[in-house]
Amino acid sequence: MFKSQEEQTSILGVCVSEPEMVGRTEGMNFCGVRSGRRAIDMLRMLSFDLVLVGMDMPDASVWDFVRRVRTGWAWQKWALVGGVITDQQEITARMFGAIKVYDVMPSSDELFMLTSSLREKAARAVLHQSYGNNTFRTPPIARPGQSAVAF
């Protein structure tokens, strides 16, 4: 079942400050942690609409952390937040599937707009049976004496 637009927006902040509460603030559940290890523990226990990852992670490389998140929770949407992000860091973040790269911590209103946009895209993908660039296809039905796998 999909979360409705009126339900809580759940965001995990890893080594970032809390968002400035500007505009819409009601219905946001922001959970901030100060280490990659604690963030992995939180991802194991709870579901988040978005993970915001800071560049100053004390216990792991940012890219090792993101690699682990992408391996264990491939569907998880994430964004990079950092003061001065080089072009190479932005390219690496995009390669790891970052949906946004922020120079400063986004406000609560920006986060609500981003998460509601993600929810709308997910709902459209389900309705149109398309996930990413792949189209959902039902497997062919095999007739007696034929293989169901097309070559």
Q: What is the pLDDT of residue 3?
A: 46
Q: What is the pLDDT of residue 149?
A: 44
In a domain, 104, yes or no: yes
Q: What is the pLDDT of residue 143?
A: 52
In a domain, 17, yes or no: yes
Nearest of 120, 117, 114, 116 to residue 101 by alpha carbon: 114
Q: What is the mean pLDDT of each run of 10 residues along the chain (151 residues)?
A: 61 93 77 96 96 95 97 96 92 96 93 89 81 48 49 36
Q: What is the pLDDT of residue 92?
A: 96
Q: What is the pLDDT of residue 4?
A: 47
Q: What is the pLDDT of residue 131?
A: 59
Look at the chain and report how many structural domains it folds into. Answer: 1
Domain that holds residue 59: 9-111
Kindly list the distances between the CA atom of residue 119 and the CA atoms of 50, 53, 77, 80, 103, in Å, as whole numbers in the listed order.
Answer: 11, 20, 11, 19, 24
In a domain, 102, yes or no: yes
Structure tokens given for 46 = 């709870």
Q: What is the pLDDT of residue 144?
A: 57
Q: What is the pLDDT of residue 21?
A: 75
Q: What is the pLDDT of residue 137?
A: 44
In a domain, 23, yes or no: yes
In a domain, 139, yes or no: no
In a domain, 117, yes or no: no
DSSP the chain: -PPPTTSPEEEEEES-PPPP--S--TTEEEEEESSHHHHHHHHHH---SEEEEES--SSS-HHHHHHHHHHH-TT--EEEE-SS--HHHHHHHHHTT-SEEESSPPPHHHHHHHHHHHHHHHHHHHHTTEETTEEP-PPPPPPTTS-SS--
Q: What is the pLDDT of residue 132?
A: 55
In a domain, 144, yes or no: no
**What CATH number does the domain containing 84 carry?**
3.40.50.2300
In a domain, 140, yes or no: no
